[in-house]
Structures are given as structure tokens and as C-alpha cells.
Structure 1
Amino acid sequence: MDMQTAKVKGKFFTVVRDGAPVVHITGKYLTRRMAEAAAKCWVAFHVSREPKRIAFERENCDRCGGAGTRTEGGWKFNDQGRCFKCKGSGRALTNEGYRAAQAYQKMRAERLNTTWGELADGDGFKYDGEYFIKGQHPTLFLRHESKVQRHDGAATRQMWKEIAARYKGATLEY
């Protein structure tokens, strides 16, 4: 795959080619680095044999019997009778799935947690449950020491592989 980044009217975009034909054109970004990152992400998920996600082993919820809700007595009413254990999905983590999920959360926190001041302009990050790009969100103001989680697709996929190799309750989906 060949990638070429160009600037038009102050915005950057990257063209991905497979030989001569164009296979993908990214959206327009404020920085060259973000346009190139978007192209690399597209290649990683659409061309290469990289996992798309990690799944943790689940089984039918033993609290609600797989229904996800319960209207008869015995439960306090919450969100229209939604099961607390499976959060209404009817499927809950097995013990192995729970251990793998906890290990993944711990590993992700250790490797990707950082502060706002340590990020470079154009770096992707997660703050308060939402994804942002440093320097491209005009209404987001954070202190230098504010805790954020770096968004790094390659590092995340590597963690998925390590967790799936180490724990029985985790599998990779391609």
C-alpha cells in the first residue's frame, strides 16, 4: 500500500493506493499527522490481517435466565426491570471472561493512561468517555495535569493479542 498526503484549502487528506488504483481517501484533517494516522488505521482494519476486536467469553445470565429483564417480584425496580448482572443483554461474563476483561482493563490503564500535557498536537485520546484529537476541539479545555487515555490502535491490538494468548476467556475477532 502506498500512501500520499496532500493539502488542499488548508486541510490535509491522505490517498491510499494499491499499485495504481486508489483504494481509499481519508477525510479532511487539520494536521498532516492525523490524515496519515487515519489512513494507517484504515489499512490496519481493511487490508491487513489484524484483529478488529476482542471478545470476552459470555453465557446466558443466571440471574434473569437470559431474558435481560424481570417484571415479577423479588427485584427492586430499576430501568424498567433491567437485570443488573447482564445490563439487560441476557448474556453475562463467565468467570474466565471476567478475569480476561479485568486483566485487559488493567493493562490498558497501565500502558495508555497519560496526562493532557504529555500528548502532542494531533494525538488522539479518550476523555470522559469520548474521543478527541488534541488541538482540534475548540471547546475542550483541560489542565496540563488532567488524566486522559491515549488512543493508539497498534498498542491496543497488541494488548488484545497478549490477553487472548494468556487468558482462556478472551478471543480475537477478525
Structure 2
Amino acid sequence: MEEDKSYLPEFEAKDYGTWNTRAYNAMAQRAFSYSLFDLEEEKKGTFYWQSFIQPHGFDAEIYNTEILPPSSAKSESQVVATIGYANPDRIYQFSEKIQSHPLFRCLEDIIKSPETYNGEAHVKVAKMIDEELNNPVLAWNALVTAGYWSGVNYKEPNMEAWQAAIDLAKKHNWTAIHEILTDQLAFYDFYKNKI
């Protein structure tokens, strides 16, 4: 991708480990720059969608495919940044399969009011994603995203997302994560009114 600026690989749902979010955002950026807002071409729409379902707030600088983007990187979803702000109705050019995904409702809410979105829709669909789609990692990503938008727009944690993350970790025996989230919540509750 660095050598050939017009190269866009075939889409493949692949685990890039700790680089997942950065890799999918970089490919979505390439899909955007390769042909402006062409969501009807399923390949590009799939790259955008894969970027959107990653946890927001990580490795999403606009128009940068470097492994380590500058520290001033804007941390929103690539879909929200490149599609939503330019023309909100373009999200309805996604395939029917994407539009029927539970997280599509979240995209609609963010596009409608990016300055006031608090992550509520992400919290609501996280449980459905875990139970009906049997995808606890995607549910986790939705809860992380809920926390991101609450922090960005309201400068406070989304307590419902925090508790849902604790419950998800307990349900799936993610012992270390459950312990950390529970300890952090106790710490937060103890100090939140003392500052």
C-alpha cells in the first residue's frame, strides 16, 4: 500500500492482532482515497464497515497509512469522518447486509448527531451482538466505542457501558479484564466526588 498508492487489496476478514484497528482503518482510508465515497462498490463498503466496527478512539487518523501516525491524530471512526460529515445520506449506499447489522443503528445515531452522541446505541447492541451473533469481542469493541463517544462529547465515562463490560468479562471468564474493570470502577467511585 505504501509503494502503490492506488493499490487496494481484496477484502479479507483477518486478525492482525494488536494492529487490527490500525490495519482496517488504513485500508478504509485507501478505499476512500482510491475512489471518493463509492460505497456501492461492495469491496470498498466492506473496508469502511470493517473500520467502523473497530473500537473508536484508536488509530483512526484521517488520510494516514503510516504504522505510527502523528500524535495529533483524530480518533474517530474512518466511516464517520470520511462519509458522514461529507454527506450523511451516503451511509444508505452500504449493502443490505451491512444495513441490517445491529451496529448500523449506531452509525445512524453518530451521523445524525456526532456532537451529542453518548454511546447509548452501542451499549444497547453490545448484548445482542454477544448473545445473538455469538461475538463477544465485537460486543467488547462496541462497549469501548460507547465509552469513547461519552468521553469525547461529555467528558465523563459511560457508566452503563462500564458495567456492561464488567458483565461481559465475567460471562466469558475474562478474569483479568473483569478484575481490572471492577477495581477501576471502585477507584472511580471512591474518588469521583473528591476532586
* TM superposition score category, shorter chain reference: under 0.3
Q: TM-score w.r.t. structure 2 length? A: 0.22
Q: Higher strand proportion, which one?
A: 1
| Structure with more relative contact order (C-alpha pairs < 8 Å, separation 6 or more) | 1
Larger radius of gyration: 1
TM-score by length of 1: 0.24
Q: Which structure has more helix as a fraction of its residues?
A: 2
